[in-house]
A and B are shown apart, each in its own frame.
Chain A
Amino acid sequence: MAEIELGAAPNPLGLIARAGLGALPVPVPGLSARRSADVSGDVLVLERVDTDLGTLAAFSRLCGYTLERAVPLTWPHIPAFALQMAILTDPRFPFPAVGLVHISNAITQHRPILTSERLTLRVWAEPIVDHPRGRAVPIRTEARVGDELVWEETAINLRIGRRNDAATAPEVASSEGYAPAARWRLPADLGRRYAAVAGDYNPIHLHPLSARALGFPRAIAHGFWTKSRALAQLQGRLPGAVGVEVAFKRPILLPATVRYVESLGEDAGIGFGVRAIDNAPHLDGYVTY
């Protein structure tokens, strides 16, 4: 496992282009289609990451977070996203990035991170595992202040394929039956707005036409936006050390009106979810502390 220090964050737009080319059925010179099964290779490291207050403000506004002294719980994902894309679009990565489905995302914050703190970000892929619906690639991200681990994330990406009935996958409790706490009206251009802030220009989020080309009837909301929007509902109610796990269910087709649901009953944590008006699940989540 080699640590590769990057001088600057890669340009996510270039990586998206690389992802697009990698998805082509014909090999592109210089972007060899030779894909090995081994992704548990490199750790991409980006040091001295200062919080860009303009981007933070735009992200906060878009997700409904208040701009406070500490960054929102889901924020470090944003500066780390380009590194995650660099791993997913690496020619040695076994699957094309286009077609991978972000199925779950777990974040642990060990303490609040102040906007003034400088982060070191480390991103790597863990070994591929069987999943009931195909093969799953966990992408791990760590944020440190100096040597102190302050935040970590595991994003599970699914390559849908042969069913593995023997395989198991971690589950998040269903939000069915939770009490409706809020109604969100999501505009048609939400995906474009989020892409402009977070750098995730995956075409399925941008426009009905680009989404249709990839098999969706309309553009779909970013899963990570949905998770962030849900946690913005809980901002101020969570302690500084907290874990939150979500499972992404059905995509939200934009524009949409959806319900945020919540279960505050238990001592150990808070269950929450995002569901369609007809109660179809979009996201199930659980906060522990």
Chain B
Amino acid sequence: MNSSVRRVAILGGMRIPFARQDGPYAKASNQDMLTTTLDALVSRYGLEGEALGEVVGGAVLKHSRDFNLVRESVLGTKLSPATSAMDVQQACGTGLEAAIVVANKIALGQIDSGIACGVDTTSDAPIGVNEDLRALLLDANRAKTNQQRVALLTRLRPHMLLPEIPRNVEPRTGLSMGDHTAITAREWGITRQAQDELAVDSHHHLAAAYERGFQDDLVTPYLGLERDQNLRPDSSLEKLARLKPAFGGPEGTMTAGNSTPLSDGASAVLMASEEWAAAHGLEPLAFFVDAQTAAVDHVHAREGLLLAPAYAVPKLIDRHGLALGDFDQYEIHEAFAAQVLATLRAWEDPVFCKERLGRDAPLGAIERAKLNPNGGSLGAGHPFGATGGRLIGALAKSLHEKGAGTRGLISVCAAGGEGVTAILEGA
């Protein structure tokens, strides 16, 4: 048993441009997008024929036939078929959670190299059989006599032909994620103006990142798309101000412009021990330092559905003796501009920090110029399982540019009142 813990290097990220729902990837499956992305990473880092320790990843919206999605994708790539793979799923935290699994295995010496990946399609979505029909079909399968089967036929009703389509709704509250966040926005007094500003920044920062070539080795074109389809470099406050509220009723502050659209895409991150990286002539961009998840009771305690990262981050930074302001870059997933702003507000709020986090002083404010400086989900789009990989790949590269020892914080909120956070350090 290995008793020492090794440093985990992040060697590079890769993704396909993110498409809007029913856009250019409408006919592409999760396996198509994931295989393409993995192969682009393989080709970028010369991993053809390589047997990696493990490929870990997942999708949030998954057809039952995709039970072994990551392994089946690996088998379609140029990686050695001797590379094992597994699926994980934690809603929008899937991609980051996959990286935590790979990092932990590398740290403990169980594997020397691995890929964390994620994918989602909202276009090629799994449509299920109506729940009543499903029950009927299963009963028919269990029936032993023809008489029983005929009797079951009489239970067939026209409504059973309506399919079950996946919905963006919290199972225990019946509210959509947008509805939940509208409540959070109201409670924290997040203004329309502040949300629109964050959205414009997200588009402008991402457009600038493409312009300066930052994305060149992070994004590979796919099915006619070279940049994220959702990206609007000419986004402006005036344009966003014209949009009608999408959540929170007629007085709501959340619009289609300051909420992420449903999207399709995939991402992957190559991680390894320092020895493996050196042996393969690959230079670490950053190190995966630590991670922390948290969850809130959004059902009974009326906590913000997407505010769990507000709880995870203090635990994470305390463990390393860091203050919230000690980071050179913050990558906070923008599910909704309101959720990002409410999270920042919570860390600045003495009452929240005292009563909910049990701290004598608030965590404080962060320098806004350090927040999502290369764009966020509002600009890029957010294929659920792919966002974690996008964040890690871009942050690792950015920290490498900033220099060894620089620190980055990743924070991702997820359905079910969960949050996943991590610290990276520039190499």
Q: 14 pairs across A/B with beta carbons < 8 Å?
A: A53-B224, A58-B27, A60-B32, A66-B35, A67-B29, A67-B36, A67-B223, A68-B32, A68-B36, A69-B221, A115-B224, A116-B224, A236-B75, A236-B77
Label chain B's interface by main secondary structure.
Answer: loop
User: CB within 8 A of A66: which of B24, B27, B31, B221?
Assistant: B31
Question: In the bound complex, do residue A115 and residue B223 qualify as a contact, i.e. CB atoms below 8 Å apart?
Answer: yes
CB neighbours (8 Å) of B35 from chain A are 66, 68, 236
Is B40 positioned at the interface, with any CB of A under 8 Å from its CB? yes
Q: Determine how close the nearest CB of chain A comes to the CB of B238; give it in whole angstroms.
A: 35
A57 lies within 8 A of chain B by Cβ: yes
Interface residues of A (CB under 8 A from B): 53-54, 57-58, 60-61, 66-69, 115-116, 235-237
B220 interface contact, C-beta 8 A: yes
Any A CB within 8 A of the CB of B78? yes
Shortest distance from the beta carbon of B167 to any chain A beta carbon, whole Å: 25
User: Of B28, B31, B76, B220, which is within 8 A of A57 by CB?
Assistant: B28
Complex contact B224–A66 (CB within 8 A): no
Say yes or no for B39: interface residue by CB 8 A criterion: yes
Q: Given the interface contacts A68-B32, A69-B222, does A53 sit within 8 Å of B40 by beta carbon?
A: no
Residues on B with beta carbons closer than 8 Å to the beta carbon of A66:
31-32, 35-36, 76
Given contacts A66-B35, A69-B36, 10 further A-B contacts (CB under 8 A): A53-B24, A53-B27, A53-B224, A60-B32, A66-B31, A66-B76, A67-B27, A68-B35, A116-B221, A236-B75
Number of A-B contacts defined by CB within 8 Å = 43
- The answer for the CA separation of A107 and B84 in the assembled complex, in Å, is 33
Chain A proximity of B164: nearest CB distance (Å): 22
Query: Shortest Cβ distance from B153 into chain A, in angstroms?
Result: 25
Question: Which chain A residues border B36 with CB–CB below 8 Å?
Answer: 66-69
CA distance A115 to B224 in the complex (A): 8
B21-74: which residues lie under 8 A (CB-CB) from chain A?
24, 27-29, 31-32, 35-36, 39-40
Chain B residues with Cβ below 8 Å from A53 are 24, 27, 223-224
- Give B132-145 as 1s and 0s: 1 = Cβ < 8 Å from A's Cβ atoms: 00000000000000
Tell me the bound Cα distance from A236 to B223 in angstroms: 18
Chain B residues near A58: list those with CB within 8 A. 27
Contacts of B75 in A (CB 8 A): 236
Complex contacts, A67 vs chain B, CB 8 Å: 27-29, 32, 36, 223
Known: A66-B35, A68-B32. A236 touches B78 (CB 8 A): yes
| Complex CA distance for A69 and B223, rounded to whole angstroms | 7
CA distance A57 to B25 in the complex (A): 10
- Give every chain B residue within 8 A of A61 (Cβ-Cβ): 29
Interface string of B8-20 (1 = CB under 8 A from A): 0000000000000
Nearest residue in B to A56 (C-beta to C-beta)? B27
A236 touches B27 (CB 8 A): no
Name the B residues within 8 Å of A60 (CB-CB): 32
Residue of B nearest to A57 (CB): B27
Complex alpha-carbon distance, A53 and B123, angstroms: 15
CB distance from B23 to the nearest CB of A (A): 11
Contacts of B27 in A (CB 8 A): 53-54, 57-58, 67
B32 to chain A: which residues have CB within 8 Å?
A: 60, 66-68
A66 to B32, CA, bound (A): 5
With the chains together, A281 CA to B212 CA distance in Å? 57
B28 lies within 8 A of A236 (CB):
no
Residues of B within 8 A of A116 (CB): 221, 224
Q: How far is the CA of A26 from the CA of B200 in the complex (A)?
A: 72
CA gap between A237 and B386 in the complex, in Å: 26
Min C-beta distance of A55 to chain B, whole Å: 10
Contact B24 A69 (CB under 8 A): no
Complexed CA–CA distance, A20 and B40 (Å): 47
Could you tell me the distance in whole angstroms from the C-beta of A184 to the nearest C-beta in chain B? Answer: 16
- Compute how far the CA of A235 lies from the CA of B75 in the bound complex, rounded to whole angstroms: 9
Question: Which A residues are in CB contact (< 8 Å) with B39?
Answer: 68-69, 236
Complex contact B224–A69 (CB within 8 A): no
Q: How far is the CB of B125 from chain A (nearest CB, A)?
A: 15
- Which residues of chain B in 207-247 are interfacial with respect to chain A, using CB atoms and an 8 Å cutoff? 220-224
Q: Are B29 and A69 in contact (CB under 8 A)?
A: no
Q: Which residue of A lies closest to B40 (CB)?
A: A69
Residues of B within 8 A of A236 (CB): 35, 39, 75-78
Most chain-B Cβ atoms within 10 A of its Cβ — which of A53, A54, A69, A235?
Answer: A69
Closest Cβ–Cβ distance, residue B72 to chain A (whole Å): 9
Which residues of B lie under 8 Å from residue A115 when comparing CB positions?
223-224
